[in-house]
A and B are shown apart, each in its own frame.
Chain A
Amino acid sequence: MKILTVCGLGMGSSLILKMNVESVLKQHGIQASVEHMDVSSAASASADLVITNAELVDNLQHMSCPVVIVNNYIDNKEIAQALEQAGILQQGA
Protein backbone atom coordinates (compact mmCIF):
# COMPACT_ATOMS: atom_id res chain seq x y z
CA MET A 1 0.00 0.00 0.00
CA LYS A 2 1.27 3.46 -0.89
CA ILE A 3 0.19 6.55 1.00
CA LEU A 4 1.11 10.10 -0.03
CA THR A 5 1.20 13.00 2.41
CA VAL A 6 0.91 16.24 0.50
CA CYS A 7 1.71 19.89 1.21
CA GLY A 8 2.52 22.96 -0.86
CA LEU A 9 6.27 22.45 -1.19
CA GLY A 10 6.51 18.81 -0.15
CA MET A 11 9.22 19.11 2.46
CA GLY A 12 7.98 20.70 5.64
CA SER A 13 4.51 19.95 6.87
CA SER A 14 4.06 16.90 4.60
CA LEU A 15 7.22 15.42 6.14
CA ILE A 16 5.84 16.00 9.64
CA LEU A 17 2.57 14.37 8.58
CA LYS A 18 4.44 11.44 6.99
CA MET A 19 6.35 10.75 10.21
CA ASN A 20 3.19 10.85 12.30
CA VAL A 21 1.21 8.70 9.82
CA GLU A 22 4.04 6.15 9.94
CA SER A 23 3.96 6.10 13.71
CA VAL A 24 0.14 5.60 13.78
CA LEU A 25 0.40 2.77 11.22
CA LYS A 26 3.19 1.17 13.20
CA GLN A 27 1.12 1.31 16.41
CA HIS A 28 -1.58 -0.61 14.55
CA GLY A 29 0.83 -3.06 12.98
CA ILE A 30 0.05 -1.96 9.42
CA GLN A 31 2.66 -2.08 6.69
CA ALA A 32 2.59 0.76 4.17
CA SER A 33 4.97 2.91 2.24
CA VAL A 34 4.42 6.59 3.09
CA GLU A 35 5.89 9.27 0.84
CA HIS A 36 5.75 13.03 1.24
CA MET A 37 5.24 15.16 -1.84
CA ASP A 38 4.39 18.64 -3.08
CA VAL A 39 0.92 19.26 -4.39
CA SER A 40 1.82 19.56 -8.08
CA SER A 41 3.87 16.31 -8.12
CA ALA A 42 1.13 14.53 -6.19
CA ALA A 43 -1.48 15.53 -8.75
CA SER A 44 0.20 13.26 -11.31
CA ALA A 45 1.34 10.51 -8.93
CA SER A 46 -0.34 7.21 -8.24
CA ALA A 47 -1.14 6.03 -4.74
CA ASP A 48 -3.71 4.09 -2.73
CA LEU A 49 -4.46 7.03 -0.45
CA VAL A 50 -3.62 10.74 -0.27
CA ILE A 51 -3.62 12.65 3.00
CA THR A 52 -3.57 16.43 2.96
CA ASN A 53 -5.31 19.34 4.66
CA ALA A 54 -8.42 21.35 3.83
CA GLU A 55 -6.33 24.12 2.26
CA LEU A 56 -4.95 21.92 -0.53
CA VAL A 57 -7.65 19.30 -1.02
CA ASP A 58 -9.31 21.19 -3.89
CA ASN A 59 -6.14 20.73 -5.97
CA LEU A 60 -6.38 16.95 -5.63
CA GLN A 61 -10.05 16.32 -6.39
CA HIS A 62 -9.33 14.57 -9.70
CA MET A 63 -7.14 11.84 -8.16
CA SER A 64 -8.39 8.30 -8.66
CA CYS A 65 -7.58 7.22 -5.10
CA PRO A 66 -9.33 8.41 -1.91
CA VAL A 67 -8.17 11.76 -0.53
CA VAL A 68 -8.66 12.35 3.19
CA ILE A 69 -8.12 15.48 5.24
CA VAL A 70 -6.06 15.94 8.39
CA ASN A 71 -5.92 19.47 9.75
CA ASN A 72 -3.83 18.99 12.88
CA TYR A 73 -0.64 17.28 11.71
CA ILE A 74 0.62 16.59 15.21
CA ASP A 75 -2.60 15.03 16.53
CA ASN A 76 -2.24 11.26 16.11
CA LYS A 77 -5.90 10.77 17.09
CA GLU A 78 -7.05 12.87 14.14
CA ILE A 79 -4.61 10.97 11.89
CA ALA A 80 -6.00 7.64 13.14
CA GLN A 81 -9.56 8.85 12.44
CA ALA A 82 -8.59 9.80 8.89
CA LEU A 83 -7.05 6.36 8.36
CA GLU A 84 -10.24 4.77 9.72
CA GLN A 85 -12.30 6.86 7.34
CA ALA A 86 -10.13 5.59 4.47
CA GLY A 87 -10.69 2.01 5.62
CA ILE A 88 -7.02 1.45 6.42
CA LEU A 89 -7.57 1.16 10.16
CA GLN A 90 -10.49 -0.75 11.63
CA GLN A 91 -13.13 1.44 13.27
CA GLY A 92 -12.44 1.71 16.97
CA ALA A 93 -9.24 -0.33 16.69
Chain B
Amino acid sequence: MIVRQAISIDYPASNAEQAIQAAGDALCQAGACQPEYVQAMVASYREFGPYFVIAPGLAMPHARPEQGAIKPQFSLIRLREPVVFGHAENDPVQVVLGLSATSSDRHIQLIQHIVTLLADENNLHTLMNSRDPEQLYRLMACAV
Protein backbone atom coordinates (compact mmCIF):
# COMPACT_ATOMS: atom_id res chain seq x y z
CA MET B 1 0.00 0.00 0.00
CA ILE B 2 2.85 2.36 0.84
CA VAL B 3 6.59 2.15 1.36
CA ARG B 4 8.29 3.86 4.27
CA GLN B 5 10.36 6.10 1.97
CA ALA B 6 7.20 7.48 0.40
CA ILE B 7 6.19 9.16 3.67
CA SER B 8 7.53 12.56 4.57
CA ILE B 9 6.50 15.14 7.10
CA ASP B 10 7.15 18.88 7.30
CA TYR B 11 7.35 19.19 3.54
CA PRO B 12 7.76 22.90 2.72
CA ALA B 13 5.33 23.40 -0.19
CA SER B 14 4.20 26.94 -0.87
CA ASN B 15 1.41 26.08 -3.30
CA ALA B 16 -0.80 23.21 -4.44
CA GLU B 17 1.29 22.28 -7.48
CA GLN B 18 4.43 21.90 -5.36
CA ALA B 19 2.53 19.69 -2.93
CA ILE B 20 1.16 17.50 -5.74
CA GLN B 21 4.63 17.33 -7.32
CA ALA B 22 6.12 16.16 -3.99
CA ALA B 23 3.47 13.45 -3.60
CA GLY B 24 4.11 12.32 -7.18
CA ASP B 25 7.89 12.36 -6.83
CA ALA B 26 7.57 10.15 -3.75
CA LEU B 27 5.54 7.62 -5.76
CA CYS B 28 8.08 7.77 -8.56
CA GLN B 29 11.02 7.20 -6.21
CA ALA B 30 9.15 4.23 -4.73
CA GLY B 31 8.91 2.71 -8.22
CA ALA B 32 5.13 3.06 -8.31
CA CYS B 33 4.97 5.30 -11.38
CA GLN B 34 6.95 6.89 -14.22
CA PRO B 35 8.01 10.56 -14.11
CA GLU B 36 5.36 11.43 -16.74
CA TYR B 37 2.66 10.22 -14.34
CA VAL B 38 3.74 12.96 -11.93
CA GLN B 39 3.42 15.58 -14.68
CA ALA B 40 -0.04 14.20 -15.44
CA MET B 41 -1.05 14.58 -11.77
CA VAL B 42 -0.20 18.28 -11.92
CA ALA B 43 -1.89 18.63 -15.34
CA SER B 44 -5.05 17.02 -13.96
CA TYR B 45 -5.18 19.62 -11.18
CA ARG B 46 -4.86 22.39 -13.79
CA GLU B 47 -7.61 20.85 -15.93
CA PHE B 48 -10.18 19.75 -13.35
CA GLY B 49 -9.36 21.84 -10.29
CA PRO B 50 -9.15 20.64 -6.69
CA TYR B 51 -12.05 18.15 -6.71
CA PHE B 52 -9.67 15.50 -5.30
CA VAL B 53 -9.53 17.29 -1.94
CA ILE B 54 -11.81 14.57 -0.58
CA ALA B 55 -12.19 15.75 3.02
CA PRO B 56 -11.20 18.79 5.08
CA GLY B 57 -7.41 19.10 4.88
CA LEU B 58 -6.95 15.89 2.89
CA ALA B 59 -6.06 15.73 -0.82
CA MET B 60 -5.67 12.60 -2.95
CA PRO B 61 -4.15 13.65 -6.29
CA HIS B 62 -3.60 11.09 -9.02
CA ALA B 63 -3.56 10.66 -12.80
CA ARG B 64 -4.84 8.00 -15.23
CA PRO B 65 -3.37 4.46 -15.31
CA GLU B 66 -2.18 4.84 -18.90
CA GLN B 67 -0.24 8.01 -18.02
CA GLY B 68 2.59 5.99 -16.44
CA ALA B 69 1.27 4.19 -13.38
CA ILE B 70 3.31 1.06 -12.59
CA LYS B 71 1.66 -0.36 -9.48
CA PRO B 72 -1.12 0.70 -7.13
CA GLN B 73 0.42 2.52 -4.21
CA PHE B 74 0.13 5.61 -2.03
CA SER B 75 2.58 8.25 -0.91
CA LEU B 76 1.97 10.52 2.09
CA ILE B 77 3.22 14.07 2.29
CA ARG B 78 2.44 16.09 5.38
CA LEU B 79 2.89 19.78 4.63
CA ARG B 80 4.79 22.01 7.02
CA GLU B 81 2.17 24.74 6.52
CA PRO B 82 -1.34 24.06 5.19
CA VAL B 83 -1.73 25.07 1.54
CA VAL B 84 -4.77 26.44 -0.29
CA PHE B 85 -5.84 24.22 -3.21
CA GLY B 86 -8.87 26.33 -4.12
CA HIS B 87 -11.53 23.95 -2.78
CA ALA B 88 -14.65 25.74 -1.55
CA GLU B 89 -15.16 23.59 1.55
CA ASN B 90 -12.10 21.49 2.29
CA ASP B 91 -9.23 24.02 2.15
CA PRO B 92 -6.53 24.34 3.35
CA VAL B 93 -4.77 21.03 2.71
CA GLN B 94 -2.44 19.58 5.33
CA VAL B 95 -1.98 16.00 4.14
CA VAL B 96 -1.48 14.86 0.55
CA LEU B 97 -2.02 11.19 -0.30
CA GLY B 98 -0.47 10.68 -3.73
CA LEU B 99 -2.09 7.77 -5.57
CA SER B 100 -0.64 5.68 -8.35
CA ALA B 101 -3.85 4.50 -9.97
CA THR B 102 -3.86 1.34 -12.07
CA SER B 103 -6.88 -0.23 -13.69
CA SER B 104 -6.40 -3.53 -11.90
CA ASP B 105 -8.41 -5.25 -9.19
CA ARG B 106 -5.56 -4.34 -6.86
CA HIS B 107 -6.44 -0.67 -7.42
CA ILE B 108 -9.97 -1.39 -6.19
CA GLN B 109 -8.53 -3.23 -3.19
CA LEU B 110 -6.19 -0.32 -2.44
CA ILE B 111 -9.08 2.16 -2.49
CA GLN B 112 -11.18 -0.20 -0.35
CA HIS B 113 -8.35 -0.30 2.19
CA ILE B 114 -8.07 3.48 2.41
CA VAL B 115 -11.88 3.81 2.71
CA THR B 116 -11.87 1.32 5.58
CA LEU B 117 -8.94 3.09 7.22
CA LEU B 118 -10.52 6.55 6.92
CA ALA B 119 -13.87 5.32 8.26
CA ASP B 120 -12.28 4.99 11.70
CA GLU B 121 -12.11 8.38 13.41
CA ASN B 122 -9.00 7.44 15.38
CA ASN B 123 -7.18 6.53 12.18
CA LEU B 124 -8.30 9.74 10.52
CA HIS B 125 -7.10 11.74 13.50
CA THR B 126 -3.70 10.02 13.38
CA LEU B 127 -3.42 10.56 9.64
CA MET B 128 -4.26 14.25 9.88
CA ASN B 129 -2.29 15.06 13.03
CA SER B 130 0.64 12.72 13.52
CA ARG B 131 4.11 14.13 12.95
CA ASP B 132 5.70 10.74 13.42
CA PRO B 133 6.51 9.07 10.06
CA GLU B 134 6.87 5.66 11.72
CA GLN B 135 3.39 5.93 13.23
CA LEU B 136 1.99 7.00 9.86
CA TYR B 137 3.73 4.09 8.18
CA ARG B 138 2.29 1.61 10.68
CA LEU B 139 -1.16 3.12 10.20
CA MET B 140 -1.03 2.88 6.41
CA ALA B 141 0.79 -0.45 6.27
CA CYS B 142 -1.63 -2.07 8.71
CA ALA B 143 -4.48 -1.43 6.36
CA VAL B 144 -3.05 -3.78 3.71
**Residues of A near any B CB (own CB < 8 A):** 7-9, 11-13, 15-16, 19-20, 39, 52-56, 71-76
Contact = CB atoms under 8 A, between A and B. Distances in A.
Interface residues of B, number: 32
A9 B62 contact: yes
A53 B89 CA distance: 10
A19 B63 contact: no
A72 B88 contact: no
Contacts of B99: 12
Interface of B: 44, 47-52, 54-56, 58, 60, 62-65, 87-90, 99, 101, 103, 107-108, 111-112, 114-115, 118-119, 124
A33 B107 CA distance: 20
Given A11-B64, A13-B60, A16-B115, A74 B55 contact: yes
